[in-house]
Amino acid sequence: MFICVKYGDQRQLLANINCSVLLLMHYLRDKVGLHRTDPIDLCEENGTLKLLFLVKFPEDNASKFLTPRMTYYICKVERGSPGSKQENSYRAFHPMFKHPPAELLDSLRNQCDILEKNRLKILKSADGKKTLTMESLLTCMAMANQLAGKVTGKSGASSSAGQDDEGQPRKTVTAAKARWETSRKDKHR
């Protein structure tokens, strides 16, 4: 189970995805000459981010998030300055190869904007103490994937992030929890 990863000046490598996300990310950083702590992600050719840098359990198998025999680009994740108010903000995703297509850059920029808006919305939530969850990001990214598909002329249903096999949005844990709490309140009445 291998993927093709493109980077640099028309360079590419094969990577085995039958390993943990953490190990795959370390391997890719090492191959492209980045520091071990530099945040990176992979994106599809249409610009759809895989959000591997946000995986809740880095020991999960990478094949859970990536499709064998597909081509991905390495993107460097730019966050806010450490120690500043904007430390956790999403600034940009930079593909690590020369002369990326304008559609790819537009897609990455749109997804970055959506991630940042979602992060700010969660910070401004009623209790103000909610943490950014993978489920909320997947829901957000499903919208971004549809937008990326429109930019590149592809259907948003072809991407699986945040969607089930029929292209319908996946039910998130928070939606199930809300139904459970509602039924629990009804029982106590």
List the pLDDT tens digit at each of the 189 positions of the chain: 899 999 988 899 999 999 999 999 999 999 999 998 899 999 999 999 999 999 999 999 999 999 999 999 999 999 888 877 787 788 899 999 888 888 999 999 999 999 999 888 888 885 555 455 656 666 666 665 665 555 555 544 444 444 455 555 554 455 555 555 665 555 555
CA–CA distance, 96 with 73 (Å, rounded to integer): 7
Where do the domains of the chain lie?
2-187
Residue 115 token pair? 């991630």
Residues 73, 104 contacting (CB under 8 angstroms): yes
Interatomic CA distance for residues 135 and 169, integer angstroms:
12
Q: How far apart are CA 104 and CA 151, in angstroms?
A: 9
Within 8 A by CB and 6+ apart from 181, the residues are: none
What is the Cα Rg of the chain in Å? 18
pLDDT attached to residue 160: 46
Strand pairing report for 71-79 and 2-7: parallel
Quick one: pLDDT at residue 19? 95
- DSSP letters for 73-132: EEEEEEEPPTTSTTTT-EEEEEESBSS--HHHHHHHHHHHHHHHHHHHHHHTSSSS-PPP
